[in-house]
Structure formats: C-alpha cells, structure tokens
Structure 1
Amino acid sequence: MYTTILVPIDLEEDELTHNALQHAVQLAKASGATLHLFHALPDASAFMSAYSFGIKEFENQAVVKANEVLKALVAKTGLPVEHVHYSVSFGSPRDETLQLAQEIGADLIVVGSRRPNVKTYLLGSNAAAIVRHATTTVLVVR
C-alpha cells in the first residue's frame, strides 16, 4: 500500500500533531511503511536580520528543541526504530514539506488541519497549500 509516509509536525499544535500522527502510525503499521516526521522552523534570518547578534545560537537552540520533541514522538509511535525517521529544516512548512516528500520518495503525506476560520480563508493554511501543490497523495486529518 504505502512505503514511505511523511508527517509534517507543527510543534505548537499538539492536537493536530496527535491526530495526524495517530492516523499515520496506523497506516504505517498496516502497510509496513517507513514513517518520517518533519518540522519546519521559520527562517530566523528573515525576521532577525536587524538583530543578527546571536542568530546562530537562536537557530541552534530551536533545532535542538525540535529534535527533542520529534525524538519523543518517535518513541511514542510503537514502530520499530528502523522504520521511523525525523528531521528539522528552516523554511516555509509548505515548501519544505513538498521538497522533503520528493527527496525521500514519500508516497503519502499525512497532515493535520483544524477547521477553517477567517484567518485561513484570508491567508490559507499549510495543509491546503500542501494539498494544492503535492505530487503525491495527501491525507488531511482533522
């Protein structure tokens, strides 16, 4: 069925993460797929250029924290360690997710989404952007 499942994780959205991860783990167990958890950090240089002192330390701390959270999520999956990977990068969640999906050959992206509100109608959501631009199957979990 699936061989590689990519799950973009928003570390600030516990409920979305839980719901998406729960579905992705069930699909990975059923198909023997590899699961790849991923978090995109905002590009700190884009909004801190005027305050560039200590930017590398800020970025390093953000990466360490994100890796710790993802590692804890990996442990909760109940999947064999060799079937679960995780990574962190800097950039827009949409662009980084789509690029990583191609790099790892993901045949499914499982993304959490909340009910649309005025903000998402005006600006759009990451989940909607991923669905619009993905070249592979996307499962949106609410």
Structure 2
Amino acid sequence: MSEYKKVLVAIDLSDESNEVAGRAKAVASSSDCDLHIIHVIEPLSFAYGVDIPMDFSGLQDEIQTQATDQLRRFAEQNGVDQSHQHIVLGRPEVEIHAMAEEIAADLIVVGSHGRYGLALLMGSTANGVLHGASCDVLAVRVGKHD
C-alpha cells in the first residue's frame, strides 16, 4: 500500500469532530503527509428553500464569521496550518469533493453516525462523499456505538 501524501479531514465543528480529526492526524503522522481541514457551511436557502421571502444574508454572514472563528481555534488545537484550513459555502459532499480535487488529496476522512433504515436511505454526508470521491475515503464511526 502506498503512503498517503495529502489527507483532507471534513469536520462539522461538533464535539465529535475531535474523534474524526484524531483519526486523520494519526493517519497523517504515520504517513508523514500534509493534513488539510475543511468545514462546509450549508446556505440557509438550502435548508429553508428559496421560496421564503426573507433576506438571510445577515444571518448567513454571522454563521460564516462564527464558523470561521471556530475552525481557526479547532485547527490551532490540532496543529493544522492556516494555509491548510478551508471553509466553504455549499453542499458538503460537493464541496468536499471539490476541495479534495483542488489540493490533490489522496485520502478524505469524514465522520459517520452509522445510520440505517430510513436515515440511510435519506442519505448522509459520509455516504455522499464515499460515492463520489476520486480517492480513498475513511469513514470514522462517531457518536453512540451499539
């Protein structure tokens, strides 16, 4: 097996992000490779639809500012250089794929809640990343374990 050169870890800034980042750091350090971190902010219009006659721009800007600050702190705690911190707006699986291509990542690390049944059929970010990635994907099981 060839060693990885660039690892992209996708986090949602929840408490579980530490588990995912920890696994990514372990892989990166064992392969002596670059570690990049990405957080994707979904536009409010995705969640609430574009038909609502409201201007979400102020709220969206505040979400972006807070997420940027949280990502910076998280990255500092995990030893990720500022040039390797990425925060983008869009659909998570699409943006994670795009960033992986942009930085030429050969491994993407994401968290997975191990959904089943209807939740699995509805899809998840980890599932979306796995099925569209052009490189290896490591899904780290987070949350409650049965």
Q: Deviations over 1:8-27 (max 9, x none)?
A: 1112x322x12210011112
The aligned amino acid for 1:72 is R
The aligned amino acid for 2:12 is D
Identity among equivalent pairs (%): 31
**How far 1:7 sits from its partner (Å)?**
0.9
What is the rounded CA distance, in whole Å, between the counterparts of 1:119 and 1:61 in structure 2?
Answer: 33
TM-score (norm 1): 0.85
Secondary structure of the 1:14 match is coil
**How far 1:117 sits from its partner (Å)?**
3.4
What is the rounded CA distance, in whole Å, between the counterparts of 1:18 and 1:128 in structure 2?
Answer: 20
State the Cα RMSD in Å. 1.9
What is the rounded CA distance, in whole Å, between the counterparts of 1:5 and 1:141 in structure 2?
Answer: 14
CA contact (8 A) 1:41 1:90 kept: yes
What is the rounded CA distance, in whole Å, between the counterparts of 2:79 and 2:43 in structure 1?
Answer: 32
The aligned amino acid for 2:67 is A
Instruction: Check if 1:63 corresponds to 2:64.
Output: yes
Secondary structure of the 2:119 match is helix
Secondary structure of the 2:12 match is coil
Structure whose residues are more often helix by fraction: 1
Q: Which residue of 2 aligns with 1:26?
A: 26
The aligned amino acid for 1:65 is Q
What is the rounded CA distance, in whole Å, between the counterparts of 1:65 and 1:38 in structure 2?
Answer: 15
Q: Which residue of 2 aligns with 1:109?
A: 108
Structure 1 unaligned spans of 5+: none
Structure 2 unaligned spans of 5+: 142-146
What is the rounded CA distance, in whole Å, between the counterparts of 1:96 and 1:116 in structure 2?
Answer: 22
TM-score (norm 2): 0.82
